[in-house]
């Protein structure tokens, strides 16, 4: 035990024997904390080994009697002296103060100073203790930095800024390291540098884009293998063999790269640390790298999700083209700049010809493939200043954003688009010839508002369709007149609905063997105040087009059910009213609720209602049609396929639908007995339908010869002018209650 300490202890009159002193000294010297005692003048009376080591001393004698002014700059020494003087003067301890160690920027100490008292309680100096809390402090800083980083991610700060903060945070935890974050390119072939705040500019330029693959440096390999890669000596590591030129002139000798992964484990990029020392990261640093890669993953994934959400909000999922909404925005902007610059703008509306046929015959996947191909072809052909967007199933809109694009140039481009779309395309191994119909409208000639411009281009496209498809039409004033008429017609129909101008006629369906009326088909008419009775063929297409068919169809259902209820008392058991259903009623999913409401309003049983559904309705959206048909069939409503033979569905397909009846289209019946093919086809349809357990009704029966043929072929039910034209309910009542015997003698 050094004399000085013994003297101190003796001076403190601590009654201790020699053994205890040695034991005490050994213990104090084992402690990693710093312990010292000073007299009233700040001279060291004692210090343990930790203090000596920290000051670069080996013997206590080198310290005793000296003050902090002998070891530290006077400014720092004055600070210590002030604290100690305070403790001595007040007699109050100064406990648990956290301070940076003298002369250090990153070493933290927790200091405590207490008055040193003699056995009489007099203060004769100060005892100091301090503990190195650098690790704890760094841990706290790391936690704070993580919290801040997550806040930055959450508040949408730019990704490179977030990553740069992350790298600085890790760099702050170890000496002489510099970090980088690289992100995997969309095609998965490359890593691109996103952030590296401390790497040399020179080096950053060289690693802006590096390939991913086996033996592609530390990062390229880590991204390839989805595993950490620790290269301790770049100069001699085989992974860097082909990349040594990158580190020429910079002092990076080790590079440790860790994959940044998404929550699903996919590689999003890499987090790398460079060190001038040929070494591997220690356990603590490895842990930090793991945290950093995880945080970087959160930041990148979050940003990707945001970008995806943003993309989906503005783009069509299938083709990746701008969607209706973003197209509207760019069109408004393009129109505004054309107006400002006093230039023109041409807009084309494109609709594929026979797209539905592709979907129906080759399936939706092939339809989707075709749309993607078309989108790519259009993008390939249009010039850089033009925009193409997909605004509906097979509808595309194209316009030039550059002010001043003159009409002849624009028309030339649109023609090129048409040719590109018409190039042969192979779907499901089948080579197809596609075509499209296009309509063009221009600002300022045809319209000055975006919506009108679109509507006019649409009208021109319809004109192209009507004149044989596969063509391009420029909007004209006659088309404007047609559009105007269409709008006026819709408005007129809306008014007619309000003013109850629609009425129903009913056409009987006869079981020719029993000569009984088994049901009636409800057919709508429009009693126009000035034009008389208008046929549905004239207004149903417009009602379908405008969507008014949903309201009209609801009215028809309700009215037909009510009328059927009135006839039930006189009618044959199993008597049914059949009602035509339009595709729009299915598409807008209103049909099930409408049927329920009509039945309950009329007090009619579902068994007395039949819905006529066309093949084309079913094929427009097969899964939806099957879903709704199942719901309706489950209610007990009978479903029949109307106009059978005019669509594309095969008899075999009928097995998949919950239908119980087939109506053979009148176009087949009309050709009987003139056309042998129609007869053969009709008879085949009847045979197969019967084998499937379906009832068959022949529509449009006008002659005895047709009746004879149908009877021989096994078709029992007929509907047509031969039995009766569609009639107002009052006239039809006579058929039903048997008060007229006008039914022709069929058998
Ligand atoms: N040449 C000939 N024609 C005959 C004969 N027997 C009946 N017809 C006509 O054939 C059409 C049969 O109706 P549809 O095929 O469902 O065809 C209907 C149907 O698709 C649609 N329609 C009628 N009412 C409604 C309705 O309430 N809702 C819906 N969505 N469509 C309806 O309008 C179409 C035409 O209806 P209508 O003009 O009433 O024409 C009726 C009917 O008058 C005949 O022996 N020879």
CATH code for position 713? 3.20.20.450
Q: Is there a domain that residue 485 lies in?
A: no
Q: Is there a domain that residue 503 lies in?
A: no
Cα-to-centroid distance, 726 and ligand 1 (Å): 9
Query: Any idea which of 104-108, 294-298, 576-580 has the lowest mean pLDDT?
Result: 104-108
Question: Is the predicted pLDDT of residue 406 greater than 80, yes or no?
Answer: no
Classify residue 59 as exposed, middle or buried by CB count within 10 Å of its CB (0-12, 13-18, 19+): exposed
Q: Whose CA is nearest to atom 29 of ligand 1?
A: 580
Residue 233: give the domain boundaries.
137-312
Tell me, what's the pLDDT at 588? 82
| Alpha carbon distance 516, 576 (integer Å) | 12
Q: Which two tokens stand for residue 371?
A: 């749309």
pTM (two decimals):
0.51
Phi, psi of 724 (to 5 degrees): -170, 150
Cα-to-centroid distance, 731 and ligand 1 (Å): 18
Q: Which of 553, 557, 580 to mutate to test the pocket of ligand 1 (most atoms within 8 A of CB)?
A: 580
Buried b (16+ CB within 10 A) or exposed e, 509-534: bbbbeeebbbbbbbbbbbeeeeeeeb
Pocket of ligand 1 (CB under 6 A): 507, 523-524, 535-537, 540, 549, 553, 556, 580, 582, 612, 642-643, 666, 700-702, 720-721, 726
Is the omega angle on the peptide bond into residue 44 within 30 degrees of 0, that is, cis? no
Which residues have CB under 8 Å from 34's CB, separation 6+? 47, 48, 50, 51, 54, 109, 128, 129, 130, 131
Atom of ligand 1 nearest to the CA of 719: 6
Neighbours of 451 (CB within 10 A): 11
Q: Is there a domain that residue 597 lies in?
A: yes
Cα-to-centroid distance, 504 and ligand 1 (Å): 12
Query: Over pLDDT 70: what percentage of the chain?
Result: 94
**Together in a domain, 367 and 437:** yes
Count of the separate structural domains present in the chain: 4
Last residue of a domain, one of 262, 281, 312: 312
**Together in a domain, 615 and 656:** yes
Contact by Cβ (8 Å): 289, 274: no
**Together in a domain, 432 and 564:** no
Cα-to-centroid distance, 657 and ligand 1 (Å): 23
Contact by Cβ (8 Å): 532, 569: no
Last residue of a domain, one of 442, 475, 508: 475
Query: Any idea which of 129-138, 248-257, 520-529, 557-566 has the lowest mean pLDDT?
Result: 129-138
- Interval 231-236 mean pLDDT: 96
Q: Which of 496, 536, 646 to mutate to test the pocket of ligand 1 (most atoms within 8 A of CB)?
A: 536
**Together in a domain, 195 and 306:** yes
Q: At what angle do helices 3-11 and 18-30 cross, to 10 degrees?
A: 110
Which residues have CB under 8 Å from 378's CB, separation 6+? 350, 388, 396, 398, 417, 420, 421
Taking phi over 0 as left and psi of -120 to 50 as alpha, with beta for the rest, 572 belongs to: beta
Q: Which two tokens stand for residue 116?
A: 């040193």
| Alpha carbon distance 316, 645 (integer Å) | 36
| Alpha carbon distance 449, 452 (integer Å) | 5
Q: At what angle do helices 591-602 and 622-635 cross, to 10 degrees?
A: 20
The candidate with the shortest Cα–Cα distance to 646, out of 630, 662, 660, is: 662
pLDDT tens-digit series, residues 197-223: 999 999 999 999 999 999 999 999 999
The candidate with the shortest Cα–Cα distance to 546, out of 611, 496, 613, is: 496
Is the omega angle on the peptide bond into residue 673 within 30 degrees of 0, that is, cis? yes
| Alpha carbon distance 54, 51 (integer Å) | 5
pLDDT tens-digit series, residues 73-123: 888 899 899 999 999 999 999 888 888 887 777 788 999 999 999 888 899
Q: In this structure, is the dihedral angle defined by the CA atoms of residues 218, 220, 225 and 227, taken in order, positive or negative? A: positive
**Together in a domain, 411 and 440:** yes
**Together in a domain, 452 and 343:** yes
Q: Whose CA is nearest to atom 28 of ligand 1?
A: 580
* DSSP conformational letter for 439: E
């Amino acid at each position: 035990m050094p004399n000085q300490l013994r003297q101190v202890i003796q001076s403190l009159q601590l009654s201790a024997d020699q053994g205890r002193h040695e034991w005490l000294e050994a213990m104090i010297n084992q402690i990693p904390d710093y312990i010292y005692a000073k007299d009233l003048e700040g001279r060291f009376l004692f210090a343990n080994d930790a203090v000596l080591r920290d000051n670069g001393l080996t013997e206590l004698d080198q310290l005793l009697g000296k003050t902090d002014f002998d070891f530290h700059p006077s400014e720092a020494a004055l600070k210590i002296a002030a604290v100690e003087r305070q403790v001595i003067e007040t007699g109050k301890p100064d406990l648990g103060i956290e301070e940076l160690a003298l002369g250090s920027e990153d070493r933290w100490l927790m200091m405590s100073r207490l008055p040193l008292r003699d056995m009489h309680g007099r203060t004769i100096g100060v005892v100091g203790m301090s503990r190195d809390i650098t690790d704890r402090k760094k841990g706290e800083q790391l936690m704070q930095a993580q919290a801040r980083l997550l806040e930055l991610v959450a508040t949408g700060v730019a990704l490179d800024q977030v990553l740069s903060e992350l790298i600085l945070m890790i760099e702050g935890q170890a000496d002489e390291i510099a970090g980088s974050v690289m992100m995997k390119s969309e095609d998965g072939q490359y890593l691109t540098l996103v952030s590296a705040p401390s790497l040399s500019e020179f080096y950053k330029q060289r690693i802006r884009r590096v390939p991913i693959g086996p033996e592609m440096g530390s990062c390229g390999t880590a991204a390839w293998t989805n595993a950490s890669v620790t290269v301790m000596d770049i100069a001699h590591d085989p992974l860097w063999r082909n990349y040594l030129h990158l580190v020429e002139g910079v002092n990076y000798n080790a590079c440790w790269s860790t994959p940044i992964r998404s929550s699903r484990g996919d590689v999003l990029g890499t987090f790398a640390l460079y060190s001038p020392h040929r070494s591997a990261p220690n356990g603590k640093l490895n842990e930090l790298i793991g945290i950093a890669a995880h945080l970087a993953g959160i930041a990148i994934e979050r940003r990707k999700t945001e970008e995806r959400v943003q993309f989906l909000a503005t783009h069509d999922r299938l083709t990746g083209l701008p969607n209706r909404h973003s197209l509207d925005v760019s069109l408004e902007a393009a129109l505004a700049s054309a107006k400002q610059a006093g230039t023109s703008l041409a807009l084309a509306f494109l609709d594929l010809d026979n797209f539905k046929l592709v979907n129906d015959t080759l399936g939706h996947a092939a339809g989707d493939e075709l749309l993607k191909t078309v989108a790519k072809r259009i993008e390939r052909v249009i010039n850089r200043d033009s925009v193409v967007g997909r605004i509906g199933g097979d509808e595309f809109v194209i316009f030039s954003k550059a002010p001043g694009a003159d009409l002849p140039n624009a028309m030339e481009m649109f023609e090129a688009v048409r040719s590109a779309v018409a190039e042969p395309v192979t779907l499901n191994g089948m080579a197809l010839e596609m075509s499209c119909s296009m309509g063009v409208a221009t600002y300022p000639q045809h319209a000055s508002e975006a919506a009108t411009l679109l509507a006019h281009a649409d009208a021109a496209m319809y004109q192209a369709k009507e004149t044989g498809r596969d063509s391009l039409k420029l909007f004209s004033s006659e088309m404007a007149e047609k559009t105007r008429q269409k709008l006026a017609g819709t408005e007129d129909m809306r008014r007619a609905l309000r003013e109850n101008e629609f009425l129903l006629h009913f056409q009987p369906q006869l079981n020719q063997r029993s000569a009984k009326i088994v049901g009636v088909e409800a057919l709508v008419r429009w009693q126009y105040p000035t034009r008389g009775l208008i046929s549905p063929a004239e207004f149903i297409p417009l009602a379908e087009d405008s969507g008014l068919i949903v309201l009209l169809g609801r009215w028809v259902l309700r009215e037909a059910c009510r009328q059927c209820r009135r006839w039930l008392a006189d009618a044959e058991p199993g008597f049914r009213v059949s009602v035509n259903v339009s595709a729009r009623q299915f598409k807008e999913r209103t049909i099930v609720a409408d049927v329920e409401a009509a039945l309950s309003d009329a007090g009619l049983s579902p068994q007395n209602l039949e819905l006529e559904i066309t093949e084309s309705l079913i094929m427009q959206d097969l899964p939806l049609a099957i879903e709704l048909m199942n719901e309706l069939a489950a209610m007990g409503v009978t479903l029949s396929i109307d106009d059978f033979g005019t669509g594309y569905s095969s008899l075999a397909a009928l097995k998949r639908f919950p239908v119980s009846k087939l109506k053979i289209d009148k176009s087949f019946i009309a050709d009987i007995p003139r056309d042998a093919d129609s007869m053969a086809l009709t008879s085949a349809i009847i045979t197969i339908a019967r084998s499937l357990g379906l009832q068959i009704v022949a529509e449009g029966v006008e002659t005895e010869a047709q009746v004879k043929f149908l009877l021989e072929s096994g078709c029992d039910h007929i509907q047509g002018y031969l039995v009766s034209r569609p009639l107002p309910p009052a006239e039809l009542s006579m058929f039903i209650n048997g008060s007229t015997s006008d039914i022709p003698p069929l058998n």
